[in-house]
Structure 1
Amino acid sequence: MDDNRVVFLFPHILKCAGLSVRAFLMNDVPAEQAILIYSEKERDPWLKPLERVPSRQREALRILYGHRLPRSALAGFPDRPIREIGLLRDPVSWCVSMYNFLQTAPERHGVKGWSFDKWYGTIKRNRISRFYLKHYYRVPSTKMRFLTERNRFDFLSDHFQNFWFVGDYRNCDDVVARIAAEIDVPFEKLPRVNAASDNSFRVQDLSETMRQRIREENALDQALYEAWSKRLWDGRPELDAGRDLPSRWTWNNIAS
């Protein structure tokens, strides 16, 4: 089928306004035009969409969204233009946001009574880049272990060059407004769905020493943010931001 209707691939990256976008898709977009992919069961058909997803379903779709959205889904739309959307967040505010989210149900998440410093000491680093590599591009863990931070920066930057939009998550209203216009649904602004309470931990509650530690220990995510957060639709990325990332593999990269 020759169809010029654009299909949007929009991976839901943790703590990047995702719940707000999800609420819009669930409440304002016709059900047949958007699919949410959050579980492995929902993901698996999209690993080989031409074989596993009925053509009638693919023909109606305009937006694919979710934590488990694989880039292989684009193979299901061979005759239609694809627009990929990438959101980024600086690692300091990302960590604070994730900590606050976990504290909304601390017993379930195993962090009851934990300070921010204690929680931060237990997590893997560079979570945003890791999420893209693992879930969107499906790079195997064994292969990821042997990619240096510079390898990862270059891999993601090479792909981001072809994205329709890459930028700070706070541009979500503008991104969704353009999507809504494309698929002809009304839109004013995203609902503000915040998983944390108003009196939650704040970036300004961190010492400058701790903020610098987070930037240094998440240097890949920091470099991606500096390089791509202002690119948006038509800007130029600041690829020099990745210049000082290590280009030789070390054991330290296993946790990154």
Structure 2
Amino acid sequence: MDETLFFLHLPRTAGTTLNAILHDNFPPEAVLSVYTREDYQRCRMLDAAELEHIRLIEGHLQPESFEPPSLYGRPLRMFTLLREPLDRLVSEYVFQKSWPENHLYAYLNENGISFREYLTSDVPLLKFRGKNFVSHCLAGVFAQDRDMGEVLALAKKHLEECFCVVGIQERFDESLLLLAGEIGLQKLCYERRNMLRPGATSGVSAEDRALAASLNSADLELYAFARGLFERRVEAAGPAFAARLREFRFLNEKYQKICAALDDRLAGEAAAGPILKPKA
């Protein structure tokens, strides 16, 4: 059986931008997106016939197994993006309080949940959110009594052995070119999507960021490990990769200027809000 591509989309890592690129490269009937409660319910009922035409699965979901990677009994070829953990956490909190379609929007706003409470809460909805969430996701382990050193070691093992590409949000263009070479993407020009407006995260204090750092030491170490994997991959690609990167950035800058000009013409149709180019 051929491997199905699987984008393990960690929240607030430029995944919506990457999804838009992926959708430019795959027909709609070949993509299974799993994000909403309705998506999860529908996907529980899928049978082999419905899955036969799916080439790409994307979403905030886990594989059934990391070793070997599989979902719905199908072998997976997985890729993901990571982001600096404190920036990711702050962005996640502000985004979830700002976007009404998010499943935590009502809870966070109706209960006046502060960023500090978001980090430290043990209520079921939040207990993993502010404490090494990415390490738990990539280890495939959500158990509070599990030794965090073991969780981190397992997450590192999975990143190194189970993913065809481990990208870095802060180096999105390089990550995209590595992924394109790995899975054969052809249409790469993009606009950034689902971004917070400048200044949207300024309300988080230095003290709260320090608390976030103390509660997310595993994620910080995992991110440094992922950057090491990424940098070795880029270095191994050599001068030809650097030349492709320069060419792509030149073309994409022109593409983004055209998009920005069109956006300015349509600006009156969109309500001003904290999120730029939100996902549909």
Instruction: Give the structure-2-normalised TM-score.
Output: 0.62
Matched letter for residue 191 of structure 1: E
Contact 1:168 1:230 in 2 (8 A): no
Alpha-carbon spacing, 1:63–1:180, altered in 2? closer, same or farther (3 Å): farther
Q: CA offsets, 1:120-145, max 9 Å, x none?
A: 44353112123334xxx3x4x5xx23
For residues 189 and 109 of structure 1, what CA distance do their matches in structure 2 show?
37
Alpha-carbon spacing, 1:170–1:7, altered in 2? closer, same or farther (3 Å): farther
Structure 1 segments of 4 or more deviating over 4 A?
112-115, 178-185, 233-236
Contact 1:164 1:233 in 2 (8 A): no
Matched letter for residue 55 of structure 2: R
1:128 paired residue number: 134
Contact 1:111 1:119 in 2 (8 A): no
* Superposition RMSD in Å: 3.3
Matched letter for residue 147 of structure 2: T
2:197 paired residue number: 197
For residues 171 and 183 of structure 1, what CA distance do their matches in structure 2 show?
18
Contact 2:5 2:55 in 1 (8 A): yes
Contact 1:14 1:128 in 2 (8 A): no
1:9 paired residue number: 6
Contact 2:165 2:178 in 1 (8 A): no
1:62 paired residue number: 55
Question: What is the DSSP-based 3-state SS (H/G/I as helix, E as strand, rest coil) of the residue aligned with 1:199?
Answer: coil
Question: What is the DSSP-based 3-state SS (H/G/I as helix, E as strand, rest coil) of the residue aligned with 1:110?
Answer: helix
Report the number of matched residues.
Answer: 213
Q: 2:90 aligns with which of 80, 85, 96?
A: 96
Alpha-carbon spacing, 1:182–1:118, altered in 2? closer, same or farther (3 Å): closer
Contact 1:10 1:66 in 2 (8 A): yes
Query: How far apart are residue 105 of structure 1 and its match?
Result: 4.1
For residues 220 and 229 of structure 1, what CA distance do their matches in structure 2 show?
14
Alpha-carbon spacing, 1:188–1:86, altered in 2? closer, same or farther (3 Å): closer
Matches within 5 A, 1:231-250: 231-232=229-230, 234-235=232-233
Matched letter for residue 53 of structure 1: A
Alpha-carbon spacing, 1:87–1:191, altered in 2? closer, same or farther (3 Å): same
Matched letter for residue 127 of structure 1: F
Q: Which has the higher strand share?
A: 2
For residues 183 and 30 of structure 2, what CA distance do their matches in structure 1 show?
9
1:149 paired residue number: 148
Query: How far apart are residue 40 of structure 1 and its match?
Result: 2.2
Contact 1:37 1:66 in 2 (8 A): yes
Query: How far apart are residue 182 of structure 1 and its match?
Result: 5.8
Query: How far apart are residue 149 of structure 1 and its match?
Result: 0.7
1:206 paired residue number: 205
- Give identity over the alignment, percent: 23
For residues 92 and 194 of structure 1, what CA distance do their matches in structure 2 show?
18
Matched letter for residue 92 of structure 1: L
2:244 paired residue number: none
For residues 61 and 184 of structure 2, what CA distance do their matches in structure 1 show?
26
Alpha-carbon spacing, 1:210–1:43, altered in 2? closer, same or farther (3 Å): same
Higher relative contact order (CA 8 A, sep 6+): 1
Alpha-carbon spacing, 1:225–1:178, altered in 2? closer, same or farther (3 Å): closer
Query: How far apart are residue 223 of structure 1 and its match?
Result: 1.3
Alpha-carbon spacing, 1:45–1:223, altered in 2? closer, same or farther (3 Å): farther
Unaligned runs of 5+ residues in structure 2 are: 65-69, 235-280
Q: 1:86 aligns with which of 80, 88, 110?
A: 80
